Amino acid sequence: MTEELEEFAPPEVHHYNEIGEVPWDIQNYWKQRHRIFTKYEEGVWLTDDAWFGVTPESIANKIAEHISASAPKDKVVLIDAFAGAGGNSIAFAKSGRWKRVYAIEKNPAVLACAKHNAKIYGVESKITWFEGDCFEILKTHLKDLGAYSVVFASPPWGGPGYRSDEIFNLHTMEPYSLDHLHKEYSAIGEVGG
């Protein structure tokens, strides 16, 4: 554990250096740590739960590339509604396509990870952070940005237990179904597919 980590990290936050430190259920994820964050060794922070949801860097970059290319030119703001440990927010900020990236995360320890990880990638000043419920924040603080924004959502999806489902159904996804997300996001503007 680095000095900085001891000083500032909330107790749920870790940077594991050795497999012996890693809880058994995230060891497979930790083995892929350099695929998840290529700068992992620079001190990337994650909570134990965040390992299950973080978007690996190459995939986050690809998503950022696709959205950059397909979003209408008048959309200049990217809102990452479920920022997690920052995998997607960092990629959006790095892409240089957006005047501003807004990142929302309701778990304060996970948000601390996202901010810290964005610093490692040199993009923390390109992102405005919100701690709280994205549905509330979209309707209050970010409402006026609706017309200029693309809202990206990487919601919780139930964890690795999904593997036993024959079909991963976006309409019954818990805790927020696709229909719920669609309805909520429609409140701030037109919703695309």
How many residues of this chain interact with ligand SAM, rule: CB under 6 A? Answer: 20
Closest approach of ligand SAM to the CB of residue 74, in Å: 25
Residue 26 burial (CB count, 10 A): 18
Distance CA 71, CA 78 (A): 10
What letter would DSSP give residue 25? Answer: G
Site for ligand SAM in 140-159 (CB under 6 A): 154-156
Stretch that binds ligand SAM, among 4-12, 62-70, 98-106, 164-172 (CB under 6 A): 98-106
Short-list 120, 105, 189, 90, CA closest to 155: 105
Stretch that binds ligand SAM, among 9-17, 66-74, 81-89, 177-185 (CB under 6 A): 81-89
Q: Which residues of 65-86 are buried (b: 16+ CB within 10 A; e: fewer)?
A: eebeeebeeebebbbbbbbbbb
Burial class (CB in 10 A: 0-12, 13-18, 19+), 166: exposed
Among 16, 107, 127, 149, binds ligand SAM (CB under 6 A): 107
Distance CA 180, CA 166 (A): 22
Distance CA 164, CA 57 (A): 26
Tell whether residue 79 is a contact of ligand SAM (CB under 6 A).
no
Closest approach of ligand SAM to the CB of residue 168, in Å: 14
Site for ligand SAM in 7-66 (CB under 6 A): 53-55
Closest approach of ligand SAM to the CB of residue 75, in Å: 19
Tell whether residue 110 is a contact of ligand SAM (CB under 6 A).
yes
Among 100, 106, 119, 139, binds ligand SAM (CB under 6 A): 106
Q: Which parts of this chain interact with ligand SAM (CB under 6 A)?
A: 53-55, 82, 84-88, 104-107, 110, 133-135, 154-156
